[in-house]
Structure 1
Amino acid sequence: MKAGLRFLNAMSSFGLSAVLVSGAGTLATPTLAEAAVIGSVQVFGAQRAGEEAVRSNLTIRPNVSFSDRDVDESVKKLYATGYFSDVSIVVSGSALVVTVKENELINQVVFNGNRKIKDDKLQGIVKSQPLAPYDTAMIKADVERIKEAYSAIGRSDIQISSQTASVGQGRVNIAFVIDEGERTKIADIKFVGNNAYGDRRLKAVIQTKESSPLSFLTRKDVYSENKLRADEEALQKFYYNHGYPDFRVISTNAVLDEAGNKYDITFTVDEGERYQYGDIDIGSTVPDIRADDLKGQLETKKGDIYDARQVQSTMDAISQRVSAAGYPFARVRPRGNRNLENHTIGVSYMIDQGERAYVERIDVRGNTRTRDYVIRREFDFSEGDAFNQSMISRAKKRLEALGFFSSVNITTAQGSASDRVVIIVDLEDQATGSFGIGVGYSGDDGIVLEASVEEKNFLGRGQYIRVAAGAGDDDARTYNISFTEPYFLGYRLAAGFDLFKTQTSSDDYYTYNEHGVTLRLIAPITDDLATTFRYTYKQITYDEDGAYGDDGVAYTSDDEMSTPYIAMIEHGTYVQSSISQTLTYNTLDSQMMPREGFYATATQEFAGLGGDSNFYKLSARARYYHTLSTEADLVGSLALGAGHLFSTDGEDLNVFDQFTIGRQIRGFKTSGIGPRTVDDGDPLGGTTYFTASAEMSAPLPGVPEDFGLRAAVFADAGTLYGNRVDGLGDTIEGTSMSWRASVGVGLTWDSPFGSIRIDYAEPILKESFDEVQQFRFSMSNPF
């Protein structure tokens, strides 16, 4: 019974009233409001909880004065344990009598009717657990939690009820009965007010997608209020970055058709006018900071289309330069001078001292998998350091570049004092693993298959691990294991290693085995530029697998033992020990599907730290991406590559020291071009190469863009020539600078199974001894 607090039988010898407390309510007389004292505490009804557990939750102690407030607090604490359905407290004579009625305990929690979400996941969602007290309020809350879990997978019409069954001895079983219903689909997404870009293009910008036959795999058609808010932000960012600074989302309406169990979503937008940059200048009120010295940091140029990314990048570059000059609190603010007649925006970057503010703390929220320290180390500051808004922008960019999160949002809040700022980081983890399959046809190996498992955020620590294995005809086998720690010894240095092994054979004359290890250290120079140092040690073994001469040199056939095979290589083991250094410049807007930006690498390698190889290699490759038509999402790219090899000891080179190319020129096998033996056509590699490539891609016509299909046309060209292998004489061909070229078409599909690409290339310029590979297939699947 829950009757509140009542006072019974005045006890004049103690100057207080007897007290009865039942339920959570309290009724107190003025007599009890005065201090009182009891001599003992008696507990009844606590069979499972135990008397001491009850006493420990009382605020009243023997021989210590108390009032009605203490009685009320004791009742609340006992109810808060969840183990009691009724509580009464009686002051009788000099004793405090506490009588409790215990809740039933949960014996078992089961789920019936669930197919889309397994029992183990539902067990982790509900708070009702075995041996916990049965609480009807908790059961109702668990029903709502299960509904939210089903809504997250697109089942909003789910029906859930709970059932209980007593099993005796104060225990009860709970069953959640679930009617999963049908998936709630998104039938249509449309835009109102868009003129510059069509619905098809804008649908590619947002995360929410219309339902399709494969939506049950992608889950991109799941309705979510949070996703819609993220979609609004994505649309705003897209327009801001393409010349529309006045863009705004007027409204977003999602209408549920209950009969069809599907949503229709409408984004109503106001694009505004498209603007170009007007005059660009810099102003400064900070002593010793001259505007003319900062003009090299400007990324915004008069006449270019307005791009919010360029404005932010310019602010960050100026802020970093000023901070390095000894002004950590300096603030860079852009001021726009809008000309409505010619649709230009002049930008003035104003630099002032800024207010002195310090970081009080950094709060990280929403990361369910990635560990806090992985996130915090991307900030250039910590608690107690000077606060600078540009540093927040850089941290956000770094967190997004990790690829660990589907959304990153950083805001600030007032700290405990006027000069204290709290940084709030809201994130949402995403899948960072992938399973990849590559299929191709390569030389004498025939069909080649490679499977790989890759994880970019291993155990939530930000570490990278990849395991790959490949196989082909003629016992061709490859094995690779890679690991990278992105913050070695607590510094922004990425350290890692690669273990590799390759086995192949050639026409039953020899078996080639290569295995070794590479140690890597990557150091950032700027946000866009990094350098990589490597040390590689590998052993290369040519085992006897056919006919050899008396001196161990392999020959072409059993019948003809006069022509030296594979460049006079004797069977045995060779060692190659080398160091290399690579510069990488990366300004791509996306690593998965770049539309703008530049990616370039330049590598130098020196072999001669012991072993059998002595050479110096130089190689470089660069690719530029540019959107040719934003409306059609037409993206073009150009690539150039080159390499040259020197002997450092004046001697001839080994076959395995030289360049082999082919993947850079589609339509040819991996080692399909360049110098090779006359009799058997085995590739020998070359000392010099040049490559060039041009590609243009767009969504496949007639297919909704959110389906993820893109078509590409491309043209590749290149040459590989020169050879420094001893003893070949007139048994080698292809050493001249002869260019090869190919044209082709490609198809990429951002499918539910992963990113799939198929290329068909037709060589249009080749030598008679070249080996072609017209089809190429690759697949990478996130998990």
Structure 2
Amino acid sequence: MKAGSKFLNAVSAFALSAGVVASGASVLMLASAPAAEAAVIRSVQVRGTQRAGEEAVRSNLTIRPGVAFSSTDIDDSVKKLYSTGYFSDVRMSVSGSTLIVTVSENQLVNQVVFNGNRKIKDDKLQGVVQTQPLGPYNQAMVNADIQRIKEAYAATGRSDVEVTTQTAPVGQGRVNLAFVINEGERTKIADITFSGNQAYSTGRLKAVIATKESGPLSFLTRKDVYNEDKLHADEESLRQFYYSHGYPDFRVISSQAVLDEASNKYNITFTVEEGERYQFGNVDVESTVSGVSSEDLKGLVETRSGDVYDSRQIQKTIDSISKRVAAAGYPFARVTPRGDRNFENHTVGVSYMVDQGERAYVERIEVRGNTRTRDYVIRREFDFSEGDAFNQNMISRAKRRLEALGYFTSVNITTAPGSAPDRVVVIVDVEDQPTGSFGIGAGYAAGGEGFLLEASVEEKNFLGRGQYIRVAAGGGLDDARSYTLSFTEPYFLGYRLAAGFDLFKSQTSSNDYYKYNEQGITLRVTAPITDDLATTFRYTYKQIKYEDDGGLGDDGLPFTADDNVSAPYAYLINKKDFSQSLVSQTLTYNTLDSQTLPREGFYVTGTHEYAGLGGDSDYYKISGRARYFHTLSTEADLIGSLAVGAGHVFKTGDDLNVFDQFTIGGKQIRGFKNDGIGPRSVNHDDDAIGGTTYFTASAEMSIPMPGIPEDAGVRAAVFTDAGTLYGNDVNMRGDALQGTSMSWRVSVGAGIMWASPFGNIRVDYAEPIVKEDFDKVQQFRFSMSNQF
């Protein structure tokens, strides 16, 4: 028998045994794998193509002339052709030594349009659907797009949206596709209730969760949109709140959302069980790692016997011990807290067990869900890379770093088994959020200075690269102008160094007697020392210019001490041009639990500065400020804070210039202008000379505004500020000076803070109760910042 006849008989036998499988197409399947290994074709013939082309079909086949094939190859070829989306029917058959592939092409999409959509714009929906112009029209893909559109509307609270499609042929196998959308009414949240809560009121717990009841401004915040995943996140927020306030047995029994179809509103009920409130009992550390002493690790423990149980302190202790043990050469070490509960006196003893842990390595890191932030911005927050030792504590640390960036609404890190028992895949799921902000600051000063305004735009995740950029401009009725451009690269040269620059220019005037112009640049780099401590180095170069503003003396000559400006300023105006060249270092210690509304922690800064690297200034300055936040009442959400500050400047050459000394006021002591206190000219009391030494102190308490739901984000504050600025090393050139002694100023006031849909708004009114006659007062201050 000839070889061709043998081949034909074999193929015919396979065809009879396989039959025909129909699934939108008739496909001849070869089922006998052992026999198929002997089947070989010499050529492939393609029929039915119009636009795709024969080569496009052949390139998607797994069968090749001269190569043995089986029914699996037939099946794979059909699947690949269907997966292109260009074909509605695929048939395969064998004739002699030729494989015949017959296809029917899908129509092509000429245009995709959206009708009826008002709440979600076309460009947003175009990013949702996968059907695109010049692509194939595939009904399965269109059905999936309908579901994607519904999900996009559900995220805005419109879960009853209806989506249909219409097609219109335009010739040459092309169609226009229209998604017809009936948006329906927005689903709202009528009521959120809690059951089983005794320690904290319903209002206090509403402030903890992200889901909010519908209100007049909900159309801006979108926080009243029901979402099942969001509800689960709220459950976790409640758990963390209770765990950090002494309730280790807390659990959410259920969270139910019931839709009232008549009103199209949800009623959400959280049923909780708080348990008893506990304190820490005995705390100990036990180490089985050779060369690592338990006694040496005890100094890292954050939990203290007698303190209220706080899961955050346990996590901080685990992190500190893990880093110390890893630094000692044990990257796989594991720190496990073990609780010893005493039900009678309501204490929880904690023993931190340190052991070698299992050896495991990171096979790869997968980043998912980031639509804007670049992958490398996320990966660099991990202390390990692919191939490094796996440590669960490093995962927790990276999660907190990613959350602290403020780039994401949610961060979830999980692990999966790798390709070997000692390999782990780290999966990072994130969801991007707006990171730009628009800010407005304003104030009003009595005495003719009038309204003061500053506006700024900033983006802390520029182009998804994690870079920070800010542009600000300000002005007032007294010809004051200011402009600033700032940029920061948080990982300079691939290291955890935040390098950047600030360009600035400003102009102020003094009762039309003179103008002060300043412009320059600051170069800076910040390096972390620990998770809480960082240092910043800066170099600044300034050009300073004083000029008259049409206020010359009666004799028409340049200013002197006898004219309308003090002698030190007359000297500056006559000399006109100055420059400063200075370097500084700042240490920052930050343990705040939140950067927006801190309830616990310290924020401390200390700076020393030297000017004398050229220029007209020669001095050494040292200054600092510390602020402490503490929750005075968790139930009432009463937050207290204390702040102190101080500074002194030493001259290292000749006399100081006016602009070398400190000026303080409304930013440190509310109720005064920014340069409202301190030494001034006796005969020309509009001229602030500044001082060599200052001290400030402040105390503030804030509480949710009575009569307004706590989750509205409105808080009331009362405060008192105190401070003094004194001393002088400026050559007064015969002019008399007042305010050089250590005279304290004190103000009291009240403020309102609102985390509004438009941004964080704060209004303060302060009244000086201790001041000097020559001080400059500004009782009212307003500020606002907003995310976009």
TM-score of the superposed pair, with normalisation by structure 2: 0.94
Alignment CA distance shift 1:614-1:233 (3 Å): same
Q: Residue in 1 aligned with 2:292?
A: 289
Q: Residue in 2 aligned with 1:15?
A: 9
Query: Structure 1 stretch 635-644 or stretch 160-169: which is displaced more?
Result: 160-169
CA distance in 1 between partners of 2:787 and 2:263 (Å)? 32
- Residue 428 of structure 1 pairs with residue 431 of structure 2: yes
1:175-254 maps to which residues of 2 (within 5 A)?
A: 175-254=178-257
**1:670-700: per-residue Cα shift (whole Å, max 9, x none)?**
0111111223321111111111100000111
Gaps of 5+ in 2: none
Amino acid at match of 2:9: G
1:504 aligned to 508, 524, 543, which one?
508
Amino acid at match of 2:173: G
- Residue 757 of structure 1 pairs with residue 739 of structure 2: no
- Residue 456 of structure 1 pairs with residue 456 of structure 2: no
C-alpha displacement at 1:55, in angstroms? 2.7
C-alpha displacement at 1:715, in angstroms? 0.5
Amino acid at match of 1:591: Q
CA distance in 1 between partners of 2:54 and 2:328 (Å)? 69
Contact 2:472/2:483 (CA < 8 Å) preserved in 1?
A: yes
CA distance in 1 between partners of 2:727 and 2:538 (Å)? 26
- Residue 346 of structure 1 pairs with residue 340 of structure 2: no
Give the match's secondary structure for 1:359.
strand
1:253-264 maps to which residues of 2 (within 5 A)?
A: 253-264=256-267
Contact 2:629/2:642 (CA < 8 Å) preserved in 1?
A: yes
1:123-134 maps to which residues of 2 (within 5 A)?
A: 123-134=126-137
CA distance in 1 between partners of 2:404 and 2:54 (Å)? 58
Alignment CA distance shift 1:654-1:37 (3 Å): closer
Contact 1:619/1:641 (CA < 8 Å) preserved in 2?
A: yes
Give the match's secondary structure for 1:14.
helix
Amino acid at match of 2:149: I
CA distance in 2 between partners of 1:688 and 1:130 (Å)? 70
**1:399-448: per-residue Cα shift (whole Å, max 9, x none)?**
22211122222222322222222222222222111000011135865321
- Residue 406 of structure 1 pairs with residue 409 of structure 2: yes
Contact 2:208/2:241 (CA < 8 Å) preserved in 1?
A: yes
CA distance in 2 between partners of 1:83 and 1:229 (Å)? 41
- Residue 47 of structure 1 pairs with residue 50 of structure 2: yes
Amino acid at match of 2:438: F
Q: Residue in 1 aligned with 2:670?
A: 666
C-alpha displacement at 1:82, in angstroms? 2.0
C-alpha displacement at 1:33, in angstroms? 5.1
Contact 1:699/1:711 (CA < 8 Å) preserved in 2?
A: yes
Contact 1:555/1:565 (CA < 8 Å) preserved in 2?
A: no
Alignment CA distance shift 1:35-1:534 (3 Å): same
TM-score of the superposed pair, with normalisation by structure 1: 0.94
1:154-173 maps to which residues of 2 (within 5 A)?
A: 154-173=157-176
C-alpha displacement at 1:319, in angstroms? 1.7
**1:267-318: per-residue Cα shift (whole Å, max 9, x none)?**
1111111000111111222222222222221111111101011111111112
Q: Residue in 1 aligned with 2:144?
A: 141
C-alpha displacement at 1:67, in angstroms? 4.7
Q: Residue in 2 aligned with 1:3?
A: none
Contact 1:553/1:565 (CA < 8 Å) preserved in 2?
A: no
CA distance in 1 between partners of 2:384 and 2:11 (Å)? 62
Contact 1:247/1:271 (CA < 8 Å) preserved in 2?
A: yes
- Residue 694 of structure 1 pairs with residue 694 of structure 2: no
CA distance in 1 between partners of 2:123 and 2:385 (Å)? 39
Amino acid at match of 1:596: E
Alignment CA distance shift 1:385-1:16 (3 Å): closer
Q: Residue in 2 aligned with 1:333?
A: 336
CA distance in 2 between partners of 1:168 and 1:782 (Å)? 48
Contact 1:277/1:305 (CA < 8 Å) preserved in 2?
A: yes
Q: Residue in 2 aligned with 1:772?
A: 777
Q: Residue in 2 aligned with 1:601?
A: 605
Give the number of aligned pairs: 771
CA distance in 2 between partners of 1:476 and 1:520 (Å)? 27
- Residue 712 of structure 1 pairs with residue 721 of structure 2: no
1:721 aligned to 708, 711, 726, which one?
726
Give the match's secondary structure for 1:79.
helix
Alignment CA distance shift 1:239-1:24 (3 Å): farther
2:587 aligned to 577, 583, 594, which one?
583
CA distance in 2 between partners of 1:94 and 1:238 (Å)? 73
Q: Residue in 1 aligned with 2:657?
A: 654
- Residue 494 of structure 1 pairs with residue 498 of structure 2: yes
Amino acid at match of 1:643: G
C-alpha displacement at 1:508, in angstroms? 2.5
Give the match's secondary structure for 2:85.
coil
Amino acid at match of 2:730: V
**1:250-283: per-residue Cα shift (whole Å, max 9, x none)?**
1111111122111111111111110001111112
Q: Residue in 2 aligned with 1:645?
A: 649
C-alpha displacement at 1:607, in angstroms? 0.8
Contact 2:560/2:570 (CA < 8 Å) preserved in 1?
A: no
Q: Residue in 2 aligned with 1:381?
A: 384
**1:231-266: per-residue Cα shift (whole Å, max 9, x none)?**
111111111100011111111111111221111111
CA distance in 2 between partners of 1:92 and 1:563 (Å)? 107
C-alpha displacement at 1:30, in angstroms? 6.9
1:433-452 maps to which residues of 2 (within 5 A)?
A: 433-442=436-445, 445-452=449-456
**1:90-126: per-residue Cα shift (whole Å, max 9, x none)?**
4334543333222211111111100011111111111
Query: Structure 1 stretch 402-411 or stretch 465-474: which is displaced more?
Result: 402-411
CA distance in 1 between partners of 2:565 and 2:308 (Å)? 69
- Residue 568 of structure 1 pairs with residue 568 of structure 2: no
1:16-35 maps to which residues of 2 (within 5 A)?
A: 16=10, 23-26=25-28, 35=38
Contact 1:337/1:346 (CA < 8 Å) preserved in 2?
A: yes
Contact 1:567/1:726 (CA < 8 Å) preserved in 2?
A: no
Amino acid at match of 2:60: N
C-alpha displacement at 1:28, in angstroms? 5.3
Give the match's secondary structure for 2:207.
helix
CA distance in 2 between partners of 1:278 and 1:412 (Å)? 33
Gaps of 5+ in 1: 1-9
Contact 2:247/2:277 (CA < 8 Å) preserved in 1?
A: yes
Contact 1:677/1:733 (CA < 8 Å) preserved in 2?
A: yes
Give the match's secondary structure for 1:608.
strand
CA distance in 2 between partners of 1:58 and 1:420 (Å)? 36
**1:544-573: per-residue Cα shift (whole Å, max 9, x none)?**
32355799852478xx57963636324310
Alignment CA distance shift 1:517-1:349 (3 Å): same
Contact 1:556/1:679 (CA < 8 Å) preserved in 2?
A: no
Contact 2:567/2:734 (CA < 8 Å) preserved in 1?
A: no
Query: Structure 1 stretch 348-357 or stretch 563-572: which is displaced more?
Result: 563-572
Amino acid at match of 1:703: I
CA distance in 2 between partners of 1:117 and 1:597 (Å)? 42
2:279 aligned to 276, 281, 284, which one?
276
Q: Residue in 2 aligned with 1:7?
A: none
Give the % identical residues. Answer: 72
Amino acid at match of 1:647: K
1:622 aligned to 623, 626, 640, which one?
626
- Residue 152 of structure 1 pairs with residue 155 of structure 2: yes
Give the match's secondary structure for 1:87.
strand
- Residue 360 of structure 1 pairs with residue 388 of structure 2: no
Contact 1:24/1:75 (CA < 8 Å) preserved in 2?
A: no
Give the root-mean-square deviation of aligned CA atoms: 2.2
Alignment CA distance shift 1:38-1:374 (3 Å): closer
CA distance in 2 between partners of 1:132 and 1:547 (Å)? 73
CA distance in 2 between partners of 1:285 and 1:456 (Å)? 44
CA distance in 1 between partners of 2:30 and 2:492 (Å)? 65
